[in-house]
């Protein structure tokens, strides 16, 4: 069986990790190794693409680096591959690999994630319709249903499917312009654009794409001006036979704070729902992820796998989190290769006890719920990043901790990335003020409280 793109990437990621840990000079790694990619595996030869002439000659000629690479490849694959570094000029297709980077000034941080593909998406009765519709879209972009609207609760694979659609279309039709963006990035880009330091028009730019994939469209609610631009672009693209795929945490008819004309456009195509996976699908997902980590499912007590599937079936992201914790625990802490059910239970006991009902609410619960709602990581919320969605999530955390737990300002600031007393105070006041007029914020806070009670 040929090695898929994602497998190749995984191998090379692991090789780079090994090299990074052992290379004394960090700059050499950053400048020369970190940008290399596997181009092809042919027989026992791995061709690795470098991004410059200098990297090409250094990596092929320096024996220390060559030995390190050989060791790393052997460590990861347990095979004596011969590694050859090549430069972009050596191959035709590499031109595309490196020229694939966006040249426009919009959405610089949005790109397709090659790790999310149809190949590693497990299909079951809960998501079959969504997968079938997605595959149909890729066969005839713009010609089946427009838009395709995928909705579900958090963590059930919407983002994964959206990237899979984009990756597959790109693979089959390399010249198609596929744009994946989050609604949050769209709003930020719109605000930047309106403030006006860009020459190109955002609207004109969006009208040039062949496939527009927008994630979490529910966040467009109450963003009247951005929604107006979106409405215009939407109509243009659909009437020109371009494909639009949207995801949301609810059905179009349940989206509050969006104009009816937009909701009716969303209903024009096909809406498909993803439901909680059944236990068998969860087991298949665990199997796929265990194998993707190069491990054998037979080394895991089957009852333990069923235990994980039963306890984390409401959200695949949590199921993955539980598995990662188990793998970390068994490999790094216990150094085990055969894993029994007790070890499995023990490794996830921290996560499952947090979810037990009746426990007193903590600041950590609030932060987790806000992150779940906005699809952010806890690191993002406590980082210095200030994009509007992250900053808002952080302010909501502060507001909820103050109003629900009465947490003092100073420890609260520390908990959320070392912010000082006055920043926390003004954030809480800001949310209180916004709640008086902002319907979508009121809805968001209600939804987060529901998450805390579920
Ligand atoms: P959503 O966008 O609905 O919140 P994601 O697409 O981010 O969910 O999925 C959360 C995680 O679960 C991702 O890492 C994704 O790869 C994984 N996942 C979800 N569903 C599946 C599935 N059916 N097969 C394999 N992985 C899945
Ligand atoms: Mg998502």
Rg (CA), the chain: 24
Q: Which residue has the tokens 């993803």?
A: 274
Q: What is the pLDDT of residue 97?
A: 36
Mean pLDDT of 331-360: 71
Nearest CA to ligand 1 atom 18: 157
Query: 357-362: long-range contacts at Cβ-Cβ below 8 A with a sequence spacing of 24 or more?
Result: 361/404, 361/405, 361/452, 362/405
Q: How would residue 81 be classed by pLDDT, with cut points 50, 70 and 90?
A: confident
Q: What is the pLDDT of residue 100?
A: 45
Mean pLDDT of the chain: 86
Q: Which secondary-structure segment (H or E) carries 39?
A: strand 37-42
Answer whether residue 96 shows pLDDT above 60.
Answer: no
User: Ligand 2 centre and the CA of 152: distance in Å?
Assistant: 9
Q: What sign has the CA pseudo-torsion 196, 182, 162, 120?
A: positive
Q: What is the pLDDT of residue 95?
A: 35
User: Ligand 1 centre and the CA of 315: distance in Å?
Assistant: 8
Query: Taking CB atoms and a 6 Å cutoff, what residues make up the pocket around ligand 1?
Result: 116, 121-122, 127, 152, 154-160, 285, 316-317, 320, 375
Sheet of 178-182: strand order equals 178-182, 211-215, 243-248, 148-151, 270-273
Question: Do 276 and 126 form a contact (C-beta atoms < 8 A)?
Answer: yes
Nearest CA to ligand 1 atom 23: 122
The answer to which of 212-221, 254-263, 290-299, 347-356 has the lowest mean pLDDT is 347-356
Nearest CA to ligand 1 atom 1: 155
The answer to which of 22-26, 168-172, 285-289 has the lowest mean pLDDT is 22-26
Closest approach atom of ligand 1 to CA 123: 23
Round to whole Å and give the CA distance between 167 and 17. 25
Round to whole Å and give the CA distance between 346 and 327. 12
Q: How would residue 120 be classed by pLDDT, with cut points 50, 70 and 90?
A: very high
Closest approach atom of ligand 1 to CA 163: 6
User: Ligand 2 centre and the CA of 194: distance in Å?
Assistant: 27
The token pair at 88 is: 């972009």
Mean pLDDT of 247-258: 93
Q: What is the pLDDT of residue 2?
A: 59
Round to whole Å and give the CA distance between 174 and 177. 8
Answer whether residue 301 shows pLDDT above 70.
Answer: yes
Report strand pairing: 211-215 vs 178-182: parallel
Q: What is the pLDDT of residue 260?
A: 94
Round to whole Å and give the CA distance between 152 and 273. 6
Q: What is the pLDDT of residue 235?
A: 95
Q: What is the pLDDT of residue 30?
A: 81
pLDDT in tens, 370-388: 988 888 888 888 887 777 8
pLDDT in tens, 128-163: 999 999 999 999 899 889 999 999 998 999 999 999
Pocket test for ligand 1, best of 134, 167, 316 (most atoms within 8 A of CB): 316
pLDDT in tens, 227-247: 999 999 999 999 999 999 999
Question: Do 326 and 347 form a contact (C-beta atoms < 8 A)?
Answer: yes
Q: What is the pLDDT of residue 355?
A: 52
Q: DSSP character for 440?
A: H
Answer whether residue 354 shows pLDDT above 70.
Answer: no
Closest approach atom of ligand 1 to CA 116: 16
Strand partners, 85: 48
User: Ligand 2 centre and the CA of 7: distance in Å?
Assistant: 23
Q: Residues in the chain, how many?
A: 454
Quickly count: other Cβ atoms within 10 Å of residue 365's Cβ.
19
Nearest CA to ligand 1 atom 9: 157
Q: What is the DSSP track for 403-431?
A: III---HHHHHHHTTS--HHHHHHHHHHH
Question: Do 237 and 211 form a contact (C-beta atoms < 8 A)?
Answer: no
Answer whether residue 5 shows pLDDT above 80.
Answer: no
Residues 6+ apart with CB under 8 A from 310: 279, 282
First to last CA, the chain: 45
Q: What is the pTM of this model?
A: 0.65
Pocket test for ligand 1, best of 124, 157, 284 (most atoms within 8 A of CB): 157
Question: Do 202 and 235 form a contact (C-beta atoms < 8 A)?
Answer: no
Q: How would residue 211 be classed by pLDDT, with cut points 50, 70 and 90?
A: very high
């Amino acid at each position: 069986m040929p090695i898929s793109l994602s497998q190749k990437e995984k191998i090379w990621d692991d090789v780079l990790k090994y090299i990074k840990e052992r290379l004394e000079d960090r700059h050499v790694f950053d400048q020369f190794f970190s940008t290399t990619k596997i181009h092809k595996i042919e027989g026992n030869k791995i061709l690795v693409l470098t991004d410059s002439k200098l990297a090409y000659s250094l990596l092929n000629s320096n024996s220390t680096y060559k030995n390190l690479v050989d060791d790393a490849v052997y460590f990861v694959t347990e095979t004596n591959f011969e590694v050859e570094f090549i430069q972009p000029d050596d191959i035709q297709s590499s031109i595309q690999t490196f020229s694939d980077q966006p040249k426009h000034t919009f959405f610089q941080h949005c790109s397709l994630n090659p790790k999310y593909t149809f190949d590693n998406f497990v299909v079951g009765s809960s998501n079959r319709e969504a997968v079938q519709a997605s595959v149909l879209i890729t066969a005839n972009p713009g010609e089946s249903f427009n838009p395709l609207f995928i909705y579900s609760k958090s963590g059930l694979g919407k983002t994964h499917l959206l990237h899979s659609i984009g990756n597959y279309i790109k693979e089959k039709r390399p010249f198609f312009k596929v744009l994946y963006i989050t609604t949050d990035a769209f709003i930020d880009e719109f605000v930047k654009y309106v403030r006006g330091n860009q020459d190109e028009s955002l609207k004109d730019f969006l009208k040039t794409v062949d496939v527009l994939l927008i994630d979490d469209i529910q966040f467009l609610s109450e963003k009247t001006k951005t929604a107006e631009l979106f409405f215009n672009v939407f109509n243009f693209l659909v009437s020109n036979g371009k494909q639009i795929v949207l995801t949301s945490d609810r059905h179009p008819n349940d989206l509050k704070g969006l104009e009816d004309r937009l909701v009716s456009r969303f209903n024009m195509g096909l809406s498909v729902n993803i439901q909680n996976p059944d236990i068998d699908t969860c087991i298949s997902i665990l199997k796929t992820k265990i194998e993707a980590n190069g491990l054998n499912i037979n080394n895991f007590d089957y009852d333990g796998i069923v235990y994980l599937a039963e306890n984390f079936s409401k959200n695949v992201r949590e199921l993955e989190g539980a598995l990662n914790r188990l793998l970390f625990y068994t490999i790094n802490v216990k150094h085990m290769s055969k894993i029994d059910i007790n070890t499995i239970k023990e490794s996830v006991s921290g996560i499952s006890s947090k979810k037990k009902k009746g426990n007193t609410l903590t600041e950590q619960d609030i932060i987790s719920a806000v992150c779940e709602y906005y699809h952010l990581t806890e690191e993002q919320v406590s980082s210095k990043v200030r994009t509007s969605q992250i900053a808002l999530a952080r302010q909501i955390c502060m507001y909820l901790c103050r109003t629900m737990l009465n947490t003092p300002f100073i420890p609260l600031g520390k908990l959320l990335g070392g912010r000082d007393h006055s920043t926390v105070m003004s954030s809480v006041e800001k949310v209180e003020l916004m709640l008086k007029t902002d319907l979508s914020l009121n809805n968001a806070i209600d939804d987060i409280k529901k998450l805390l009670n579920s």
